[in-house]
Chains A and B, each alone.
Chain A
Amino acid sequence: MKTFEEKWTAWLDGELAGQELAEFEASLPDKDGAELEKQDAHKLGAFLKEQLVARPMRNEEFFHHQLRRQIEGEAAVRGTLPVESRPREPWWSIGRLVWTGVASLAIFMVCTFFVMRQETSTGQSGYLTQVINARVDPAVSPNATISMFETKEEKVTVLWVNGLETLPSEYAAK
């Protein structure tokens, strides 16, 4: 709902049309007086336009010089570009995507290395090295095998002999 002032202004500027115009004009108590007002307002507008010609700026070069100096001062304080003038990079820029990818890959590889190493160490036998796994002299004991292990932490060597029935005297002497 427009106020009287709004309708009047629109009417003066020729912005009312159709039913709105007819209703507004019908609501005016003194149509002739209003028309005079309208002409008067148009005279004022034309007068202002004629008289208020743009005043030329003096010292234009100095204006530019001074402005440049202020801008350079701003740039010196805030960096090469003024903060608000810096084009805002989207978060998904190519550079950022590449760096994110490389960093993720590096983290993945480091994690994989540690996990694999841990799994290897837990899956491994407690015995680090099987030194011997062979049959004893078949002439002495054809079914005997001898194995020797060394534990990793304890540094203990275990000699496991299986199927040895008798130990020859010359072996026992050694």
Chain B
Amino acid sequence: MPTETTTAQAEVPELDLVKRCQAGDTEAFDQLVGRYRTRVFGMIYNMVHNEQDAWDLAQDGFLKAWKSIGRFRGQSSFYTWIYRIVMNVTIDWLRKKQVKGTGAEFDDAIQLREIDPASRTVPKADALPHQRMMHGEIRQRIDEAIAQLSPEHRAVILMKETEDMQYHEIADTLGCSIGTVMSRLFYARKRLQNMLRDLYENV
């Protein structure tokens, strides 16, 4: 996974920064935050579709990472580790939000009832003309479609399609089995294909 290192920062190995953080060096943590904040923020934004919420969740995620950095043993990259923390913070937040008010279903069983696993989602013919749709509108359509997914389904589809993460990395991040990841990917793709077909066929 690429990082946001600058030339100067790249000179300091990540593990050295982590060790300094574990000794209480906030300056070192600042450097680590600088390396990953954009990617972390971008991922959260794709999950929650609100800049302020994404900003706050990124703060929460990094703060949680600071509090528990003593437990980081270097078995995975720091990014994978912080990504797991941030993703769990975001999923928890989305779950709470959905429990409180509106929101899409977030249960695989509901997805199963609504989608025939063998159904075909390929458009037959007539596609709508969206060529003139502005990028902002396209993005809005995508955001709305993703918002219909459960937090877990959002997470797997975004990690797979935008972050190019492997099944085992996604499973590790979300703390679930590879089979669950594959199953969630299946339903998330089907739903998005149904909702966005006209866009990606014509834009």
Contact = CB atoms under 8 A, between A and B. Distances in A.
B is bound to A = yes
Interface string A37-68: 10011011111110111111111100110111
B96 interface: no
Contacts of A51: 135, 138-139, 142
Given A64-B34, A82-B67, A85-B22, A54 B42 contact: yes
Interface string A62-93: 01101110111011000011111111100000
A8 interface: yes
Interface residues of A, number: 52
Given A48-B142, A88-B70, A55 B182 contact: no
Interface in A132-156: none
Interface residues of B, number: 60
Contacts of A88: 70
A4 interface: yes
Contacts of B33: 63-64, 67
A5 B66 contact: no
Nearest to A62: B55
Interface of B: 21-24, 26, 29-30, 33-34, 37-39, 41-43, 45-46, 51, 54-55, 58-59, 62-63, 66-71, 117-118, 120-122, 135, 138-139, 142, 157-158, 160-162, 167, 179, 182-183, 185-187, 189, 192-193, 196-197, 199-201, 203
Interface of A: 2-6, 8-10, 12-13, 15, 33, 36-37, 40-41, 43-49, 51-60, 63-64, 66-68, 70-72, 74-75, 80-88
